[in-house]
Structure formats: structure tokens, C-alpha cells
Amino acid sequence: MRKTALLVAAATLLGALAAAPTAHADPSRGPHGSYGPYGQGLDHCTAATPDTTSLACHFDVPPGTYDVTVTLGGDTPGSTAVSGETRRSLLAETVTGAGQRVRRSFTVDVRDPEGEPTGAAGSPGLDLVLGGPAPRVAGLQVTPAGATRRLFLVGDSTVCDQPGEPYAGWGQFLPARLKRGIAVANHADSGESTVTFLQNPALFERVEAAIRPRDPVLIQLAHNDKQTDAATYRANLTTLVERVRARGGEPVLVTPIVRRWFNADGTLGNGTALLVNGLGVDHPAEIRALAATLGTPLVDLTALTRARVEELGPEASKALYLTTEKRDNTHTSVRGASEYAALVAAELRARGIVPERLLR
């Protein structure tokens, strides 16, 4: 029954899409016309579930970076979002009017494992979901991006591509803030500290090997350095910065997001909230000082997230974290991860870390 329902839903949606204008087949472009050298288009998509109009699309491509262009719109109004791989947000909801067509492009990092470096492998190739409240898709093109820039993320569970709901890392929502021409390579991994990220060959060594000149590398590690002394913490961050620079990359130090632990006066002035560890090491202060010493750009995400949480207050700020769902005041919800990704993107723009032309 489930298979039959899926086929019916897919046929219904693809039938509606067929009414939209698309390019004619060109034998020189592969067996499916305008969809690139791999023959990629809507014929690679099926209904995501029987009760939704979302499309799940799979492309059998090797690891690398890929440019994706979607043509959105249809005969009726729509609102379409694109996600991919391990729940990455690749394109925020885009509204189209009746009869309107818009094109949006972005670049995707395809790797194995596709999410957390020590997590499940995921499926090979590129997976996309064309969804949203009212998806309207007229065309889809996927082509190799070649030696495009990548923005690497080194971090913990508050940054990583979280595999399952309701968890979400801010790095998971950063791709939706970028345009075609730069791909987010999120190598953040749950439970990691500055110590373990350097020790495990599956973590920093893999990032290091992939860095090309001018690739930004954002480093946010603190939440799990609970018993790391100040000297070791500084030394580990310095090692990460120096090894990124040795590869020609551009290291960026990022202070950690706050934990949602309020004082009685409605502020986040306590050590738990502001990432002071069990040895009394003030991680954000150490990062700020080290960034100044090493001449490294700083994204003070601690200050930015503190301001946002205190602005919302004890009750409304619960929506940014998993307070209600999991009694968890450290990990963010989809809303929290999305808002914090927007804060990071604004800093990338303000500090010239990513060119304006590559930011949404």
C-alpha cells in the first residue's frame, strides 16, 4: 500500500510539474536534456511521502562540490524550500506567485560520511528534498562545481549536521545563507573538544587535507572542554589556527553559543551559561584574547547569542533551545539553529570573511 501511494503521489506532482515550461532535450547535454552531464532533472525525483507534495531527489555522483540550480514556480502560488544530505538547509522558503518563475542557485559539499565525521555514513551521492508549505518546482539542474571555495566548520554538537529531529546545529542552516560559488563543509562532530578534534584522524586531519588557499575555516570548540586547563586550551586552538594557515586557509575563531541558564534577574551572567568550565577557564575570554594575539578574525557568537536570549527572556527563549522537548538548554531547535546561523552569516559579511556576492 505504501509503495502504491508513493507512486500515485509522485505521478500527481510530476504531472503538475510537467505543465511548467522546461528546456527541450539537447542530445549534447545528456539523455535528459537541460539537466547537465549526469542527466539530472526532475526524473530523478519521487514523492517524499504519500501525504506530501515534497519531492525527494537522488543523484548518483561521487564526492565533491556541486552547483544546484532550481527553477521555482508554477501555475498557482507556491512556497518552496530545499534541504539536502543530512538535513542541511540549502535554500530558505521562497515564495512565488501564480505563473511566476524564479531561479535560485547554491553549491553543495558531497562527502562520505555526509554528516558528522564519526556518525552514520548516510547514502552515497547527492540527496535533495524540494519541500516547503506549497512546493512548486519547474526545473532542476546539478553540475560539478570544480575547485569552488569551501567554508569549513570545526565544532561540536551545537554546530554539526544533526541527523535527527528535534536537534539542529547552526552549521546545518548556514548553507541557506550562501549563494552559488561557496559550499559549507560542516565537519563539526558531537561531543568533541579541542583535545579530541586534534587526536582523532577522522576529524581535523581530514579537514586539513581538504583545505585549499583562501578557504575560510570557522572553529568553535568549547562546550566539551570541561576539564581542559587554560594553557592546553590556548595551545590546542593555536595549533588549529597555525595548521589551517599552513594550508593557505583563513582561520576564524568563533566563541561558543550560550547555554540557556538564567540568573534570578533574567540575565545569563553565570558560568554555566557563559561557558566557564570546571577548572574556572572562561572559554569565550580565552578565545577573544587568542584571536587578538594571533591576528585571527573573531566571531563573538557568545556575545551575540547572549544578547538574543536575554532579549527574548526566560520564557520566549525556550523556543531557541530544546527546553520543552528534551529539557535541554544547550542544544538548539530548528528555530534557534536558523537564528544563530543568521548571526554567523551577518558576521561573515561584516568582517569580509565571505564576499558580499556569495551571501544571501
Q: What is the CA radius of gyration of the chain?
A: 21
Whether residue 112 is found in the same domain as residue 233: no
Domain end: 103, 125, 144, which one?
Answer: 144
Domain end: 91, 126, 144, which one?
Answer: 144
Whether residue 128 is found in the same domain as residue 20: yes
Asked if residues 345 and 171 have their Cβ atoms less than 8 Å apart, the reply is: no
Residue 17 CA, distance from chain mean position: 28
pLDDT for the residue 32 = 29
pLDDT tens readout for residues 218-252: 999 999 999 999 999 999 999 999 999 999 999 99
Whether residue 155 is found in the same domain as residue 35: no
**Residue where the block lists cell 515534497:** 54
pLDDT tens readout for residues 132-175: 999 999 999 999 998 899 999 999 999 999 999 999 999 999 99
The DSSP output letter for 287 is: H
Whether residue 129 is found in the same domain as residue 194: no
Whether residue 262 is found in the same domain as residue 340: yes
**Residue where the block lists cell 522546461:** 22
pLDDT for the residue 269 = 85
Structural domain containing residue 166: 149-358
Low-confidence ranges of the chain (pLDDT < 50): 1-40
Rounded to whole angstroms, how far apart are CA atoms 189 and 59? 25
Instruction: Single out the residue of 140, 136, 125 nearest to residue 42, CA to CA.
Output: 140
pLDDT for the residue 335 = 98
274-284: buried (b, 16+ CB within 10 Å) or exposed (e) per residue? bbbbeeebbbb
pLDDT for the residue 100 = 96
Characterize the bridge pairing of strands 328-332 and 321-322: antiparallel
Domain end: 144, 160, 176, which one?
Answer: 144
Rounded to a whole number, what is the distance in angstroms from the first to the last CA of the chain? 42
CATH number at residue 48: 2.60.120
